[in-house]
Amino acid sequence: MLYNPTPDALFAPVAAVDPLGFGKVAIVTGCASGIGLAVTQQLLAHQFSVCGLDITSFNYDLVRVTDHGRFHFHKGDLAAAGGCEEGVRICVATFGSRIDVLVNVAGLMDNFSSADGVSDDVWDKVIATNLTAPVMMMRAVLPFMKAKRDGAIINVASTAATSGAVAGVAYTSSKHGLIGATKNVAWRFRNDGIRCNAVCPGAIDSSIGKAIANGSNEPWDAEGFAEVEPFHALQAKPSASAPTITPHEVAKAIVFLVGDHARTINGISLPVDKAWGAV
Ligand SMILES: NC(=O)c1ccc[n+]([C@@H]2O[C@H](COP(=O)([O-])OP(=O)(O)OC[C@H]3O[C@@H](n4cnc5c(N)ncnc54)[C@H](O)[C@@H]3O)[C@@H](O)[C@H]2O)c1
């Protein structure tokens, strides 16, 4: 509360300001569902102004009414030419020329096809969405972060960023590439006050995770899936001993990396996988 609602009170109430996000601006890609939605909700709860970007429509009922004034949604394809620049332009037009945080969440699973059968379409779409778009987003926000010598970027990778046994060749390559981009940005801009880290979620209880756990109706590559299924069976299916991880649990790890507690953490890939990646 920033004003005194009772003018005859002796003292103004203590200002309930959250130093993590008050007065700061965050961009979240893939904000309409799953991990991106959870990140959006948690950053808003920490008083960030959030510009959410997604290719699908946003259900405003999922944002608390009291947060609506600090939330702006833009619908657009980040994999299309100029899509990332447009999203950042809209953020600046809405919240002004400061960008404190970028969380690259938008992503697509592939169809488990291997290097002997991946189609041009699957390769191009997955690389464009999971690797090219996050790099273009970073390119678009870095001038704003460099200008104030402060910024935090979090890229959502995957267990598939370090393992070859989780997905098809396109998804695996895109997430491995995203870790490389994360490290490069972290090193290159370490003296500009900018940190860039990644999280590597395991099997998450979201639309992608549910599709894998339940068996998807998508035209999956049967041979490729058969090779990764035993690894998925170690965690992807919910059970008492290996419950799925929720989008909000991933979002909490991201909020940690955004905040001051992580101010010396730069260039890491943090597993959020309940030891799945330790296999
Ligand atoms: N679900 C899992 O098990 C899991 C595990 C590890 C990593 N991840 C990663 O986490 C991220 C989020 O996945 P999720 O599970 O929340 O999935 P999700 O499908 O619920 O969310 C992904 C969001 O990205 C958006 N999106 C996709 N392509 C886009 C584009 N071209 N432009 C703009 N928006 C686009 C989608 O519309 C969707 O809202 C992805 O990068 C995914 O690879 C997911």
The CATH number of the domain holding residue 140 is 3.40.50.720
Question: In Å, how far are 15, 80, 278 from 3, measured between CA atoms?
Answer: 8, 44, 50
Print the domain residue range for 96. Answer: 25-110+123-202+246-272
Average pLDDT over residues 153-167: 97
Residue 210 inside a domain? The answer is no
The span from the CA of 101 to the CA of 175, in Å, is 21
pTM of the predicted protein model: 0.93
Count of domains forming the chain:
1
Quote the pLDDT of residue 2.
47
Quote the pLDDT of residue 135.
99
Q: Is 210 labeled as catalytic in the residue annotation? A: no
| pLDDT exceeds 50 at position 53 | yes
Residue 9 inside a domain? The answer is no
Quote the pLDDT of residue 16.
85
Quote the pLDDT of residue 141.
98
| pLDDT exceeds 90 at position 39 | yes
Quote the pLDDT of residue 26.
98
Q: Is 175 labeled as catalytic in the residue annotation? A: yes
Average pLDDT over residues 241-259: 90
Residue 162 inside a domain? The answer is yes
Quote the pLDDT of residue 238.
65
Q: Grade residue 14 by pLDDT with cuts at 50, 70 and 90.
A: low
Using a 6 Å cutoff on CB, does residue 209 contact ligand 1? yes
Question: In Å, how far are 83, 90, 98 from 75, measured between CA atoms?
Answer: 10, 11, 21
35 C-alpha to center of ligand 1: Å? 7
| pLDDT exceeds 80 at position 67 | yes
Residue 151 inside a domain? The answer is yes
Residue 163 inside a domain? The answer is yes
Q: Which of 10-19, 125-134, 246-255 has the lowest mean pLDDT?
A: 10-19
* Residue 239 identity: S
Quote the pLDDT of residue 233.
85
Closest to 237 in 3D by CA, of 218, 209, 264: 209
Q: Grade residue 1 by pLDDT with cuts at 50, 70 and 90.
A: very low
Please give the share of the chain, as a percent, with pLDDT higher than 90: 81
Token digits for 86? 């447009």
Residue 78 inside a domain? The answer is yes
- Three-state SS string over 41-101 comes to HHHHHCCCEEEEEECCCCCHHHCCHHHHHHEEEEECCCCCCCHHHHHHHHHHHHHCCCCCE
Using a 6 Å cutoff on CB, does residue 52 contact ligand 1? no
| pLDDT exceeds 60 at position 236 | no
Residue 84 inside a domain? The answer is yes
Catalytic annotation, pick one of 24, 125, 171, 210: 171
| pLDDT exceeds 90 at position 3 | no
Using a 6 Å cutoff on CB, does residue 254 contact ligand 1? no
Mutate to test the pocket of ligand 1, among 105, 136, 205, 218 (most ligand atoms within 8 A of CB): 105
Average pLDDT over residues 80-98: 98
Q: Which helix (H) or strand (E) holds 258?
A: helix 247-258
> Mind giving me the DSSP string for 117-153?
T--HHHHHHHHIIIIIHHHHHHHHHHHHHHHHT-EEE
Residue 178 inside a domain? The answer is yes
Quote the pLDDT of residue 232.
86
Task: Compute the C-alpha angle 104/127/204, nearest 5°.
Answer: 50
Average pLDDT over residues 110-118: 97
| pLDDT exceeds 90 at position 12 | no
Q: For residue range 196-214, list pLDDT tens digits in order.
A: 999 999 988 777 766 766 6
Query: pLDDT averaged over the chain?
Result: 92
Using a 6 Å cutoff on CB, does residue 59 contact ligand 1? no
Average pLDDT over residues 115-122: 97
